[in-house]
Amino acid sequence: MTTMSGSDGASAAGNGGRGWFTPASDAEAAERPAPGALDATPTPQGRTGTAAAEPGPERRAEAEPQAEAAPRAEAAPDPAASPAPAASPVPAAGSAPAAGPAPAPATGPLADSELIRTSMDELERSADAATAYFYALLFVQYPHLREMFPAAMDNQRDRLFRALLTAVRLYDDGKLLGDYLANLGRGHRKYGTLPTHYPAVGECLMAAIARYAPNSWGPRTEAAWVRAYTAISQTMIDAAAEDERRAPAWWDAEIVSHELRTPEIAVLTVRPDQPYPFRAGQYTSLETPWWPRVWRHYSFASAPRPDGLLTFHVKSVPAGWVSTALVQRARPGDVLRLGPPAGSMVVDHRADSGLLCLGGGTGIAPIKALVEDVAGQGRPRPVEVFYGARTSHDLYDLETMLRLKERHRWLSVRPVVAAGAAQAAAEALAGELPDAVRRYGPWSAYDGYLSGPPGMIRTGVETLVGLGIPTHRIRHDSLDELVAQGV
């Protein structure tokens, strides 16, 4: 998540940075995309505080946040009571598959991707039970891994299946899947994930699929999954190893400014303890001292600055643990933790095309960063911004955007309010964001940038494609959510 700016639901862009087995999740959306293997989250060294139950994605531009459920006790299936069909062991990370009897050669036309998709289609009918079984088996067989995960696993289960589904649907697109997995591998470093964790996860994953997709499971499907998982985990391990040579696993960042724009929205400025390289339009994961094992995704609300400061827009949502803490509890002097930057919603400054930007809610944060980025290049190019909100009250950053418009003749800003008349914003258009975009144009020569709730991203992509912008020129970071939904 969705681009991720900040609410406890995800809007990422998502991608974003979420993992197959991500322990400390981003279940508050933008608290939102994005999708590997074990997202282990040990309590950070040197941190105090108790382990927290996991919320959900909270990232980048405001997603229609998914509310976080409070921790609750839950009964997990007992894997020892009725063992799953045996699955072949997964090769150790960084090694070739173990020698042994080769599976029977395929006699039909089914490729690995078809075999895997068929088993996933069957598994989807029992997704909740399969993921619960997977975690129960993992924690029984490898109890030392349990401490890496939050106390409440509700959102974690949904994240696992959604990430699996995303990877399966990207299976035939080598570059996109590779980029997706490499991003996950880099992001997993902040959780303390090690190469030795991957075989354990793979072993339990195969057992869960064998148990809950029995009709499609067999020697050929098993071999296909082993090959796929081995390649997937190695991609993530290699990306993490490469990243370790040039960047820390996380950055400590002190809050230097905390400004409440509305009772629910805060603008936070932080100072990292060491240089933090990123590009306008990207996002990061963020951890607070109050929920030491919970990370959420947020977009950067400005382009890189000479002073090295970073700014985030955060909207608190009901039951959003991280977002609520950042809005209501955080103060200057508090120290947060930042993961690595991620996301591909960046500007290609070699092109001359205009930018058509749609930002919903706190999704305006990365859009503002893109505007600053274009301005910093010193080469004018048309930028059209449609800033959508449910009410005029939610246009919390409109004055900032209008000031940018006054300074740059190439910039146009159109606020759009969905509910009621925009009495506080005389220039606002009434209606839905896609309808407002259709009133203007033509847009076929523009590149599209979208940041906001997953629903807004989905309808926005459809709108821009319908207006003649090809999909390869539409950028957002809601990869995991949208791919899983077939968009």
pLDDT for residue 181 is more than 70: yes
- The predicted structure's pLDDT at residue 72: 37
- What does the pLDDT average to over 305-325? 94
The three-point CA angle 459-453-419 to 5° equals 80
Which single residue is written with the structure tokens 């890496």? 148
Residue 67, judged by CB atoms within 10 A of its CB (0-12, 13-18, 19+), counts as middle
- The predicted structure's pLDDT at residue 17: 33
- What does the pLDDT average to over 92-96? 55
Write the pLDDT tens digit of every residue in 110-142.
Answer: 588 899 999 999 998 998 899 889 989 999 999
Least trusted range by pLDDT, from 5-9, 60-64, 112-116, 149-153? 60-64
Query: Average model confidence (pLDDT) for the chain?
Result: 78
Contact 451, 438 (CB under 8 A): no
- What does the pLDDT average to over 286-308? 92
| 124's tokens | 């989807």
pLDDT for residue 109 is more than 60: no
d(CA 61, CA 258): 18
The three-point CA angle 189-92-294 to 5° equals 25
Close Cβ partners of 470 (under 8 Å, ≥ 6 residues apart): none
What are the structural domains, with CATH classification, of the chain? 16-244 (1.10.490.10)
User: Which band of pLDDT confidence, cut at 50, 70 and 90, is reported for residue 378?
Assistant: confident
- The predicted structure's pLDDT at residue 222: 95
Write the pLDDT tens digit of every residue in 327-370.
Answer: 999 999 999 999 999 888 999 999 989 999 999 999 999 999 99
The three-point CA angle 360-366-372 to 5° equals 125
d(CA 21, CA 476): 23
The three-point CA angle 163-358-435 to 5° equals 110
User: Which band of pLDDT confidence, cut at 50, 70 and 90, is reported for residue 104?
Assistant: very low
User: Which band of pLDDT confidence, cut at 50, 70 and 90, is reported for residue 295?
Assistant: confident
- The predicted structure's pLDDT at residue 321: 87
Pairwise pLDDT comparison (184 vs 434), residue with the higher score: 434
Which single residue is written with the structure tokens 């690595």? 340
Strand boundaries in 170-315, DSSP class E: 251-260, 265-272, 283-287, 295-299, 310-315
Contact 387, 395 (CB under 8 A): yes
Least trusted range by pLDDT, from 71-85, 92-106, 119-133, 386-400? 92-106
Write the pLDDT tens digit of every residue in 393-421.
Answer: 889 999 999 999 999 999 999 999 986 65
Close Cβ partners of 32 (under 8 Å, ≥ 6 residues apart): 1, 2, 4, 9, 10, 11, 12, 13, 14, 15, 16, 18, 26, 57, 58, 59, 60, 63, 297, 454, 478, 481
Least trusted range by pLDDT, from 23-37, 317-331, 336-350? 23-37
Close Cβ partners of 86 (under 8 Å, ≥ 6 residues apart): 207, 210
- The predicted structure's pLDDT at residue 364: 97
Contact 339, 312 (CB under 8 A): no
Q: Say how many CA atoms lie within 13 Å of 455 toward its Cβ.
A: 8
- The predicted structure's pLDDT at residue 56: 33
d(CA 481, CA 483): 6
Q: What is the pTM of this model?
A: 0.73
Q: Which segment, 58-62, 162-166, 260-264, is predicted with the most confidence on average?
A: 260-264
